[in-house]
Amino acid sequence: MEFNTEFIKGCSAIGAGLALIAGIGPGVGQGIAAGHAASAVGRNPGAKGDITSTMLLGQAVAETTGLYGLLVGMILIFVQPLAK
């Protein structure tokens, strides 16, 4: 079954849009982490360094999902691997 190139480009655009929705999760997660870290520093100011480093490590790990979604979206838009 032969597909039209325009159909493939349209499906790539829809897939890229869906892939970029992956940016919502890291944003929400990082906001929650920063809020809890600020609360923890407020309760125990002496542990500020440990709390901050742990929070930043967790946010870096959480950001990878957003970057993977961005990478997939860019591949679908600019490379169009299914178009001949």
What's the pLDDT tens digit per position in 15-45? Answer: 999 999 988 988 898 999 999 999 999 999 9
> Does any domain span residue 23?
yes
Residues spanned by the domain of 23: 5-77
pLDDT tens-digit readout, 49-84: 999 999 999 999 989 988 999 999 999 888 877 666
The residue whose two tokens read 């790990």 is: 61
Please name the residue ranges forming H helices in 1-84: 5-20, 24-43, 48-74
CB 29 within 8 A of CB 62: yes
What phi and psi, each to the nearest 5 degrees, are found at residue 37?
Answer: -65, -40
What pLDDT sits at residue 70? Answer: 92
Domain tally, the chain: 1
> Does any domain span residue 44?
yes
- 2 pLDDT band (50/70/90 cuts)? low
